[in-house]
A and B are shown apart, each in its own frame.
Chain A
Amino acid sequence: MQLVQLAFRNLFRNTRRTILTVLLISFSLTALIITDAMMRGMTDLIVKSITETLLGEAQIHKLGFRDNFDIDLFIDDAADLEDSLSNDPTVLAHASRTISGAIISSSYNVTGGMVYGIDADAEADLSRIKIAVESGTYLSGKPNEILIGKTMGELLEIKLGDRIVVTLTEANTGEMTQALFRVSGLLHFGITEIDKNMVFINIDEARKLIRLGEHGAHEIAIRFRNPEDAKNPDLAVFKDHNTESLESLSWLQLNKEVSSIIEMSSYGTLIIGLILFLLASLGVINSMFMSIYERIYEFGVLKAIGTRPLDLGVLIMVESLLIALISCAVGIILALLISEYTSTVGIPLGEMEFSGLAISDRILTQFHISQITELPIYVILLTMVSGLYPAWFASKIIPTEALQRSL
């Protein structure tokens, strides 16, 4: 007969209470694991939404361009930069872009917007522009093709094949220039800012229009083989291309608002975890005390026949540990079963725009090994901490008082 065996048998003196305590702790752990998995899924969705839509995971610009999108601040030899990116093993895809403000006119209406000159083939591997084509066709490299946001199309009252005039400013000279385009595709990103304000044309045409030269670009968007590389400032992409005239920034630096939201979401998990485990701890303390009060006479006897106070305390702690271990096993199994469903079928959100991001997908909860290693350790530690006071109480029971209590 060992201490663990005695503690284990004690747990099943009042099976119903033990089951309820185990369920309380295991449900808390399950909820925490699912919350963590959901937060990870949500974060992943947000990150993908922000990086895959248009931004990329990193961008290189001429220093100062981002301050007010000055058309004159362009990279002279983007081709050279793109060559070095092609040889970088961490880089999966990259694409040069021109960006300029423009007046876009149809036969019926006029609006302001941003004209992106894009490399259609390269963009297909980097952004969602091709996927966002709701009607018509993606850019094929033919002259006068233009992709327009659906909302802008409605504003301009145009349809596929209609003509529109884009008025731009030439770089360096500041001269106005105009070009006629035929709408080849209407885009729907689900992001108001893009759908309403952006048009996309072939980069070669854009370069000619705004006179950026053969290899000029305002922006080079980059996608890494490992998306986590965006967080690594020691990467060659960031170290080599942050110079006196260039800046190379990750999406976390380009969109600080969203990166702050993501950072805050981890605190959300922490707060939910704390609340859940505070409640579970109170349940454990309550359960252990009920169990001790039922056994006060017995503890008196145990001390009377020579059980040391420390041994009684250890017995209660072992009971707490066993409750924690059983709860963790139940909690993990429950969480894995639920995760199996939510990670494949997902949790539907409907279509929503959140902080300039289109979230039209389902949240697919994401399993991470820490959910079944770290989180259960916290649960075990917290349950043990909850067991400390009852254990101390049991060790302090005075035999004569305990024996009299039940006589």
Chain B
Amino acid sequence: MTIVIKTKNLCRYFGDNEETMVKAADQVNIEIEKGEFTAIIGPSGSGKTTVLHLMGGLDNPTSGEVELSGKNIAKMSGGELCDLRRDHIGFIFQSYNLIPVLSAEENIEYIMLLQGVKASERKKRVKEMLELVGLSGLEDRRPGKLSGGQQQRVAIARAMASRPDIILADEPTANLDSKTGIALLDVMKELNEKHDMTFVFSTHDEKIMSRASRLIHMRDGKVELDERK
């Protein structure tokens, strides 16, 4: 199997004082393979979001390495990380994270614009993504005119439109009602199964855990258990 993300002895400490230092990630070693539907789970403060941010190059580790498709991203500059996130990683966040002044279509198109994708190709992919997430016909609506679930679907479409190697989702169902959350997870699971898209979640949502093919249990910044179903 192809390894998409690999962390080696990954540490992220907050604070300089030995006594008050918080070890949000402590010697974390994880390998995410292509096509996995992985959930990093654990109680609040266990370090799951920190690990997700480190995997996505949003944060720099105190020590250790993060390899994305064989490249160590831990030592990359800010600009290089921006390009890496743009071209290789799709993000889905807990809060509705769309640009409010852009329509659903424009939100999906945004990253492709940054990537320099041609207009005709952008339009084609936007249409394709909207169909995939079941939002055809709503492309002209701005986020304010979409429900929470619909907004998260647009976020998924945006994350996928850039054709990333992996999608990192931080508590994607936390702000959604149960029914909408399930519907959204079904969409992501379908994308995972049909398109071999790799997903890594940070969550304590039972619904995600039940659908995940792999659960990584974290506590106090350490991987406590790594189980594949």
Contact = CB atoms under 8 A, between A and B. Distances in A.
Contact of B114 (A12, A298, A306, A406): A306
A374 B108 CA distance: 42
Contacts of B113: 1
A400 B59 CA distance: 7
B58 A302 contact: no
A301 interface: yes
B43 interface: no
B87 A399 contact: no
A10 interface: yes
Given A309-B78, A403-B93, A304 B101 contact: no
A16 to B, nearest CB: 16
B95 A1 contact: no
Interface string B90-114: 1101110101111000100111011
A369 interface: no
Contacts of A304: 56, 58, 85, 91, 93
A256 interface: no
Contacts of A338: none
B23 interface: no
A297 B95 contact: yes
B158 interface: yes
A306 B79 contact: no
A6 B101 contact: yes
B95 A306 contact: no
Nearest to A12: B101
Interface in B85-140: 85-87, 90-91, 93-95, 97, 99-102, 106, 109-111, 113-115
A305 B78 contact: no
B79 to A, nearest CB: 6
B217 interface: no
Contact of A400 (B53, B87, B109, B111): B53
A304 B106 CA distance: 17
A307 B91 contact: no
Interface string A294-318: 0001100111111111010000000
Contacts, number: 66
A159 B83 CA distance: 95
Nearest to B60: A400
Contacts of B97: 297-298, 301
B82 interface: yes
A142 interface: no
B82 A306 contact: yes
A308 B102 contact: no
Contact of B158 (A13, A305, A307, A311): A305
Most buried by A among B53, B58, B106: B58
Contacts of A302: 99
A349 interface: no
A406 B93 CA distance: 12
A6 B142 CA distance: 13
Given A6-B101, A13-B101, A306 B111 contact: yes
Interface string A1-37: 1000010011011000000000000000000000000
Contact of A407 (B82, B83, B87, B94): B94
Given A306-B111, A399-B58, A400-B59, A301 B93 contact: yes
A67 B53 CA distance: 87
B72 to A, nearest CB: 19
B206 to A, nearest CB: 21
Contact of A307 (B56, B93, B114, B159): B114
Contacts of B78: 309
Interface in A378-406: 399-400, 403, 406
Nearest to B50: A400
A306 B101 contact: no
A298 B102 CA distance: 12
B60 to A, nearest CB: 9
Contact of A6 (B85, B90, B91, B102): B102
A305 B101 CA distance: 17
A306 B95 CA distance: 18
A1 B53 CA distance: 29
B76 to A, nearest CB: 13
Contacts of B90: 305
Contacts of A403: 58, 93
A400 B93 contact: no
A10 B78 CA distance: 25
Contacts of A298: 97, 99-100
A310 to B, nearest CB: 8
Contacts of A307: 82, 86, 114
A91 to B, nearest CB: 65
Given A306-B85, A307-B82, A308-B83, 5 more contacts: A306-B115, A309-B82, A400-B53, A400-B59, A407-B94
Instruction: Please name the 3 residue pairs, one residue from A and one from B, whose CB atoms are nearest each other, closest first.
Output: A306-B86, A9-B101, A301-B97
9 contacts: A9-B102, A303-B82, A304-B91, A305-B86, A306-B82, A306-B111, A307-B86, A400-B59, A407-B95
